[in-house]
Amino acid sequence: MGVLCFFSDGFSCYFNALLEYYHEIKIFPKTGQRGHPKEPVKEPHSELVYGQMVKEKKNGKLLKITYRIRCGAERLAKLGFKIGTSFLERLNLTIRQSLSPLKRKTLGYSKNRENLKKQTVFFQAFYNFARPHMSLRERICDSEERFQKKWNQKTPGMAAGITDHVWTFRELLTVKIATDL
C-alpha cells in the first residue's frame, strides 16, 4: 500500500469516511470478569495520515487558520509533509469548475446522490490518468527551435507509477477494474 496522506478542510464527515475505508479492527482480550467482552472497534490504519486545515472567519474576514492532525502525526513528521492550503484550495476549485453538479444555481446541479457519485468517480479517473498536469511535466529539450517538443507530459497516475502513459478517452472508458480490493 502507498502513502495514505489526506488533507481537507474542517468538515467533520471526512474523518469518518476515511476511517470506514482505511481501518484496522482492534479486538480486546477477554478479562475473565462477568459480563460481555468489550466490542471490537475500528481504529485508523497505521499507515493513514490525515490532517485538517480549519479557517475561522468573522464577517467574511479570515481571522486565523488552525492546522489539526487527526491521525498519523508521527508519520507526517517523518515524511516531512506539511498541511498546505494552496493544494487544498486549488483542488477544490478544479473539482468545482469541472463538475457542474457541484456548482450551485446551474442547470447541471445534481439532486440525485448516486448520479453525483458516478460523475465524481469518473472525474477522478480522468483527472488522475487522462489529464496531463503542467506541474508534473518534465523538460526533455533545452533547444530554442520553434516546433521541437520540449516537455514530456505527465499525469498524477504516471507520477505515482501506476501507469506509464497518458490515457486516451477510449482507454479510460474501457478499462477493466478489479473489484476485490
- 160 DSSP 8-state letter: T
Which pTM does this prediction carry? 0.56
More reliable by pLDDT, 113 or 108: 113
The reported pLDDT for the residue numbered 181 is: 47
Percent residues over pLDDT 90 in the chain? 6
The reported pLDDT for the residue numbered 160 is: 84
Residue 167 clears pLDDT 90, i.e. is over it: yes
Average pLDDT rounded to a whole number, residues 90-110: 76
- What is the band of 179 on the pLDDT scale with cuts at 50, 70, 90? low
Instruction: Residue 81: name the closest of 89, 72, 70, 90 by CA.
Output: 72
Cα atoms found within 13 Å of the Cα of residue 144, Cβ hemisphere only: 0
- What is the band of 176 on the pLDDT scale with cuts at 50, 70, 90? confident
Q: Give me the chain's average pLDDT, please.
A: 81
Alpha carbon distance 106, 123 (integer Å): 19
The reported pLDDT for the residue numbered 117 is: 83
For the chain, the domains span 1-30+38-80, 99-181
Residue 92 clears pLDDT 80, i.e. is over it: no
Alpha carbon distance 76, 47 (integer Å): 10
Average pLDDT rounded to a whole number, residues 27-49: 86
H or E element at residue 179? none
Percent residues over pLDDT 70 in the chain? 90
Can you tell me which residue has the cell 490515457? 167
Residue 162 clears pLDDT 70, i.e. is over it: yes
SS3 for 72-141 is: CHHHHHHHCCCCCHHHHHHHHHHHHHHCHHHCCCCCCCCCCHHHHHHHHHHHHHHHHHHCCCHHHCEECC
